[in-house]
Amino acid sequence: MTSRETMMPESYIGPPLPPPQGNVISRGLRAICLERRLPYQLVQRLDPWLLKKGLRYKTMRCGNATMRIRRCSADDRFVQNVLLNNDYNPAGYEIHPTDNVIDVGGQIGSFAVYAGQRATQGRVFTYEPTSENFALLTSNLRRNRLSNVKAEKAAVLGVSKPVRIFLTQFTGGHSIIEANGDSEDDYEDVPGVSLESIFRDNEIERCQFLKMDCEGAEFDIVLKSSDETLQRVDRVAMEWHASSKERKVEESQQLVVRLLDLGFEIDRYVEFTNFTCGFIFARRRQ
């Protein structure tokens, strides 16, 4: 899918979850004895009660990672999607030991931990603008002893400038777009850094993997960053976020066209059915 004539997104609906194996007792024993965690149904009952008692945070294990997350939030789903389901890393988009990785939209650190555990001889740079998410991100980097990951509390944009981030109770959805926030009065003013400055300030010659999940800022980054900067990127895994369902194809096509013009091949261009977002996976032509 590398021409403008064939760049309509593939519609995607996630597959249904497989039925649970075994009965309630066997699943509970497996969770406690083998997976070293509380059974899911028990957690679902305990978490709301513990949250009311003021215990907002908990720790979960996921693969080789230990993550601090918020109770009764989408954090556990984000962690599983990144660390277990490889949402940003399908075949051909693996993180290699010597890769330099830039993570835009670090949230609580799921992808930074994933990349840091794999780019053991490379470097990972992760950017998250909001205070609570950033505190969890840095905590999770320490928790997983990842000295090869550098975290910065900033938004990433096409040009370096301060920016307002509008907040939402859906803690993975904080956005530069006011309409995406819960209220025009609920926001954080944060520094914004350009992709060009990230390369320059960290002396990055090439970025082998650029991940973006930044709730609308991807348009500013891709459309306003210089050709020279983006041509130093080898692979892109991006979740895009359009302003409306009606405009999602038109807006996301701008990203596809820009990447094609820069010499990328589009391996996958997906729109999530009934949502305003989707994925783009692109790699530099050999």
- pLDDT, one tens digit per residue, over 60-97 is 999 899 999 999 999 999 999 999 999 999 999 999 99
For the chain, give the mean pLDDT: 92
pLDDT single digits (tens) 14-52:
666 567 778 878 877 777 787 677 777 888 899 999 999
Q: How far apart are CA 225 and CA 159, in angstroms?
A: 7
**Residue 229 and residue 204 in contact, taking contact as beta carbons nearer than 8 Å:** no
pLDDT for the residue 4: 57
The two beta strands, 209-213 and 235-241, are: parallel
Among 18-27, 48-57, 127-136, 273-282, the minimum mean pLDDT is found in: 18-27
Torsions phi, psi for 251 (to 5 deg): -70, -45
Q: Is 253 a residue whose pLDDT tops 50?
A: yes
Which residues, listed in sequence order, are joined to residue 280 by a DSSP beta bridge? Answer: 238, 269
- The average pLDDT across 277-282 equals 96
pLDDT for the residue 186: 87
Q: Is 102 a residue whose pLDDT tops 80?
A: yes
Q: Is 3 a residue whose pLDDT tops 60?
A: no
- In order of their start, the domains of the chain are 4-19+84-284 (3.40.50.150)
pLDDT for the residue 2: 47
pLDDT for the residue 260: 97
Cα 264 off chain centre by: 21
> What is the CA angle 132-133-134, rounded to 5?
90
Q: Is 177 a residue whose pLDDT tops 80?
A: no
pLDDT for the residue 8: 83
pLDDT for the residue 176: 82
pLDDT for the residue 46: 92
Unique residue bearing structure tokens 């320490």: 142
pLDDT single digits (tens) 217-237:
999 999 999 999 999 999 999
The encoded tokens of residue 78 equal 């984000």
pLDDT single digits (tens) 160-169:
999 999 998 8
Please write down the HEC assignment for all residues of the chain.
CCCHHHCCCEEECCCCCCCCCCCHHHHHHHHHHHCCCCCHHHHHHHHHHHHHCCCCEEEEEECCEEEEEECCCCHHHHHHHHHCCCCCCCCCCCCCCCCEEEEECCCCCHHHHHHHHHCCCCEEEEECCCHHHHHHHHHHHHHCCCCCEEEECCEEECCCCCEEEECCCCCCCCECCHHHCCCCCCEEEECEEEHHHHHHHCCCCCECEEEEECCCHHHHHHHHCCHHHHCCECEEEEEEECCCCCCHHHHHHHHHHHHHHCCEEEEEEEEECCCCEEEEEEEECC
**Residue 280 and residue 245 in contact, taking contact as beta carbons nearer than 8 Å:** no
